[in-house]
Amino acid sequence: MKKLLFGSMLVLLFILSACGGEEATKVKEEKKASAAETTSVADLEEMDLENMTEEDWDKINLSKKEFKKMLDAMAEADEDGEIAISSAKLTNDETIEVELNNSDGDTLENAMTAAIMDSIIREFYKHSVYYDDKEPTIVFNDLTGYTILENDKPIEYEEDESASSDGKDLGEFKLDEKVDVAGTIITLSNPAYTDERNEYEEEPAKVLSLDVAVQNATDEDLYFDTYDFQVYDADGTLMETYALDYLTADIKPGKNTSGKGFYAVSGKGPYEVYYTDFATDATAKWTIEVK
């Protein structure tokens, strides 16, 4: 679920942000000009949404039926069988209610998920026949009914000009060395092949375990997940994460935690490990040998 929400959806978010503002009037005019040419959910599934141009977006025109189908599809299980959203529905023509499939309340992960989904749903709404020059109100609740976000206008994302590490390749680091990636201080150690297995996962050639220590050196809560590491073998092939008891945590400012990351690997070392801060694109690299 985390990979779904913080991977491809983040890519979509930046694309959708580029289509806002002055596009609203243009979208409405396009719909009036070709009201009969509606887009289906099946059509959307065939589109390369991560590489959409403004011209591609101009061609999307969802009918009321297809927009509702799109909301229904958001509540379906992903390829891993996980359900991030328990329901998404219109309560009237200008209000959409989304229920996240957890009871966690005001966590950093829920806040980020709601903000990302708001931008995505809002953009599709603007490319549907529901849109009439008025922004929809989108409400996000958890399973307890706690309201995480209620918004009637697009969220504005300001670039942090003070972030000196934006888009920076920080270089290569050694095991047991503290590495500051945009305020996330990471220490990797003790790489090893483990015999531990998940009975519900496919049997990999080997499972690599890494000890991971993390400190939050920012002034905001930090969500950290070892699924965010990318591991490549000696052939340059991206390895998969492996579902064991891996580290995932919300870390308060100035606090730290530790745990393990697990990866289904080929056994062809040495391995290259990369960590990229999603907000700044600052990237650190480690090369590890398993003895």
Give pLDDT tens digits for 107-154: 888 988 899 899 889 989 999 999 999 999 999 999 999 999 999 998
What CA–CA distance (Å, rounded) separates 190 from 47? 43
Mean pLDDT, to the nearest integer, of 25-54?
63
In a domain, 79, yes or no: yes
Helices (H) and strands (E) in the chain — how many of each? 7, 15
Cβ atoms of 141 and 106 within 8 Å: the answer is: no
In a domain, 129, yes or no: yes
- CA distances (Å), 130 to each of 10, 22, 49, 70, in order? 25, 18, 21, 13
In a domain, 156, yes or no: no
Q: In this structure, are 114 and 236 located in the same domain?
A: no
Q: In this structure, are 40 and 111 located in the same domain?
A: yes
Task: Please give the DSSP secondary-structure letter assigned to residue 174.
Answer: -
Q: In this structure, are 184 and 135 located in the same domain?
A: no
Q: In this structure, are 110 and 232 located in the same domain?
A: no
Q: In this structure, are 124 and 51 located in the same domain?
A: yes
Task: Please give the DSSP secondary-structure letter assigned to residue 120.
Answer: H
In a domain, 157, yes or no: no
Cβ atoms of 139 and 88 within 8 Å: the answer is: no
What CA–CA distance (Å, rounded) separates 215 from 212? 10
> H or E stretch including 121?
helix 108-126
Q: In this structure, are 277 and 143 located in the same domain?
A: no
Q: In this structure, are 41 and 113 located in the same domain?
A: yes
Mean pLDDT, to the nearest integer, of 61-69?
91
Cβ atoms of 193 and 219 within 8 Å: the answer is: no
List the CATH number of the domain containing 255: 2.60.40.1240
Q: Which of 121, 151, 181 is the last residue of a domain?
A: 151
The amino acid occupying position 134 is: K
Q: How many other C-beta atoms can be found within 10 angstroms of the C-beta atom of residue 44?
A: 16
What CA–CA distance (Å, rounded) separates 100 from 114? 8
Residue 171 reports pLDDT greater than 90: yes
CB under 8 Å to 83, separation ≥6 — which residues?
1, 75, 76, 77, 101
What CA–CA distance (Å, rounded) separates 147 from 98? 10
In a domain, 160, yes or no: no
Band (31; pLDDT cuts 50, 70, 90): very low
Q: What is the pLDDT of residues 197-230, one digit of tens each?
A: 998 888 999 999 999 999 999 999 999 999 999 9
Number of domains comprising the chain: 2
- pTM for this prediction: 0.51
Question: Which residues span the domain enclosing 40?
Answer: 2-151
In a domain, 158, yes or no: no
